[in-house]
Amino acid sequence: MQAVLADWRTAPIDARTRAMLGFIERLTLNPDAVSAADIQPLRAERLSDTAIEDAIHVCTLFSVYDRLADSFNFDIPDARGFELSATSLLDRGYV
């Protein structure tokens, strides 16, 4: 995980994950430049349309959340708050 956060391009991850991260980066930084042609490399890596759609939804939602947080100056939890959130998600999932 640390290697991916440091630089996903050189991290020891599989080609499918690397392709998806490249697509997500493009979608985040240049959403107006994304087209159907950007999906072809993902399909070439045998990623399903459902997986691609899920990734687009997550990327889009995080972009919205970031903008809301910046606009409304959301509080960022401390380490204990993140730990409690992670524990809750692991116990209950996204219900």
Burial of 22 (0-12, 13-18, 19+ CB in 10 A): middle
pLDDT in tens, 18-40: 999 999 999 999 999 999 999 99
Q: Comparing C-alpha atoms, which of 51, 61, 65 is closest to residue 21? A: 51
Structure pTM? 0.76
Q: May I ask the CATH architecture of the domain 2-92?
A: Up-down Bundle (1.20)
Which amino acid, one-letter code, is at 22? G
Confidence at residue 95, expressed as pLDDT on a 0 to 100 scale: 62
User: Which has more confidence, 1 or 29?
Assistant: 29
Contact by Cβ (8 Å): 41, 15: no
User: Which has more confidence, 95 or 2?
Assistant: 2
Domain-wise residue ranges, the chain? 2-92
